[in-house]
Amino acid sequence: MPLDDALARLLAHINPLTGTESVATFDADGRVLARDIVSDLQVPAFDNSAMDGYAVRSADVAAPGSVLRVTQRIAAGHTGQALQAGEAARIFTGAPVPPGADAVVMQEEAEVLAAPADGVPQVRLSSAVRAGQWVRRSGEDVTRGTTVLAAGLRLGPAELGLAASLGLSHLPVAPRPRVALFSTGDELVMPGDVPPEALPPGAIYNSNRFFLKALLHRMGCEVSDLGIVPDQRDATVAALKTAADHHDLILTSGGVSVGEEDHVKPAVQALGQLDLWQISMKPGKPLAYGHVRRSTQPGLAHFVGLPGNPVSSYITFLLMVRPLLLQLQGASRLMVPSLQLPAHFDWPKGDKRREFLRVRRNDQGGLDLFPNQSSGVLTSVAWGDGVVDNPAGQTIAHGDVVRFLPFAEWLS
């Protein structure tokens, strides 16, 4: 099955989670906005100075060298009085421009003259003034009534700041997907449980559990780590049953090939439904999608079984599970933008499957290839900063422009 078809099929099953949470704007980083945010106010709320200097009436300063009387001083957070003809107000950045003034002269272009007999200081302005100069207009950032942040947007630091500038201490966001994570495989051992020198023959450390948990957290999920499930039908069924009740998604790795030791498929089928897809991608290929019926509550938990090979698991998560989790949260943007960059390597044999080659950007603006592209070599992912999305059967010659997908976009 082509990857795009598999993704479309997967997403066709995923309805956004119901309900909306109100979370403190401080805590909303990474969450998906559940409703449009329409501004009740103008930002800035008032015309204010963009500089430390003098607020003036531009008509008074038509020519360089004009001299004005400085009749008031306005600091940020304070307001001034109406400005009369021939007057200037000493003003500071962010302070409201007083009524009557329509421009600000920066202090570097003003010379304070010795105070005359009446004690009111005077300034000489060295250049002519344009109406509106160095004034930040009310509403130039946000106009009242506009949609500032749209439902479905994933909030990041800039969006949180913008929401705060509208006075919003809380934001309506989609619930976090609750994900039950477990690994399958009798060969798996947890770091910390067994020191490297005592690792039994045939055993390996469980690496998938670590990156999958971290990836899930980055996608805004609440993760229940259910540990390692042995390669036994009954144990797998029991783990799935527990997981279904309180979770929106059950995510497993390993055991989804069609070998005799792959127990995930029959176990899910016993409790719900499962399709095993052979996706035309490399690394990757086997992916299980289905659902598990809840025993104590109505409804279903989605099920995704990732391949066991670490690189396959990682890449399949990014390409399939990430969009699924975003759609659960009602996100409007499921895909990451790609870049067109020159390959600084040769790839003389295209594969019959679409390939995701681990590469790294170099200082010359091109892409270097990690030498070992095996699906078990996790170093390729740690070394790389993205993948080349190479169509099936495509060869690459040094200098060819290829489609680069940066990991940073996927992980944000």
Binding site for ligand AMP (CB under 6 A): 183, 185, 187-188, 204, 206-209, 253-257, 307-310
Which is nearer to ligand AMP, 307 or 330 (by Cβ)?
Answer: 307
Which is nearer to Mg ion, 98 or 254 (by Cβ)?
Answer: 254
By CB under 5 A, the residues from 199 to 258 that bind Mg ion are: 254-255
257 binds, among ligand AMP, Mg ion, none (CB under 5 to 8 A by kind): ligand AMP
290 binds, among ligand AMP, Mg ion, none (CB under 5 to 8 A by kind): none
* Separation of alpha carbons 13 and 297, rounded Å: 20
User: What is the 3-class SS of the chain, one letter each residue?
Assistant: CCHHHHHHHHHHCCCCCCCCEEEEHHHCCCCEECCCEECCCCECCCCEECCCEEEECHHHHCCCCEEEEEEEEECCCCCCCCCCCCEEEEECCCCECCCCCCEEEEHHHEEEECCCCCCCCEEEECCCCCCCCCEECCCCCECCCCEEECCCCECCHHHHHHHHHCCCCEEEECCCCEEEEEEECCCEECCCCCCHHHCCCCCEECCHHHHHHHHHHHCCCEEEEEEEECCCHHHHHHHHHHHHHCCCEEEEECCCCCCCCCCHHHHHHHHEEEEEEECCEECCCEEEEEEEECCCCCCEEEEEEECCCHHHHHHHHHHHHHHHHHHHCCCCCCCCCCEEEEECCCECCCCCCEEEEEEEECCCCCEEECCCCCCCCCHHHHHCCEEEEECCCCCECCCCEEEEEEHHHHHC
By CB under 5 A, the residues from 254 to 293 that bind Mg ion are: 254-255
80 binds Mg ion (CB under 5 A): no
Which is nearer to ligand AMP, 115 or 382 (by Cβ)?
Answer: 382
Point out which span in 57-65, 87-95, 119-127, 308-316 binds Mg ion (CB under 5 A): 308-316
310 binds Mg ion (CB under 5 A): no
Q: Smallest distance, Å, CB 205 to ligand AMP?
A: 7
Q: Smallest distance, Å, CB 253 to Mg ion?
A: 9
Point out which span in 43-51, 63-71, 188-196, 301-309 binds Mg ion (CB under 5 A): 301-309
* Separation of alpha carbons 24 and 380, rounded Å: 39
Number of residues that bind Mg ion (CB under 5 A): 4
30 binds, among Mg ion, ligand AMP, none (CB under 5 to 8 A by kind): none
Which is nearer to ligand AMP, 133 or 183 (by Cβ)?
Answer: 183
185 binds Mg ion (CB under 5 A): yes
Which is nearer to ligand AMP, 70 or 288 (by Cβ)?
Answer: 288
307 binds Mg ion (CB under 5 A): no
Which is nearer to ligand AMP, 253 or 280 (by Cβ)?
Answer: 253
CA distance between the termini of the chain: 28
Q: Smallest distance, Å, CB 187 to ligand AMP?
A: 5
Which is nearer to Mg ion, 188 or 281 (by Cβ)?
Answer: 188
Q: Smallest distance, Å, CB 9 to ligand AMP?
A: 21
Q: Smallest distance, Å, CB 298 to ligand AMP?
A: 32
Which is nearer to Mg ion, 327 or 375 (by Cβ)?
Answer: 375
The residues that touch Mg ion, with contacts defined as CB under 5 A, are 185, 254-255, 308
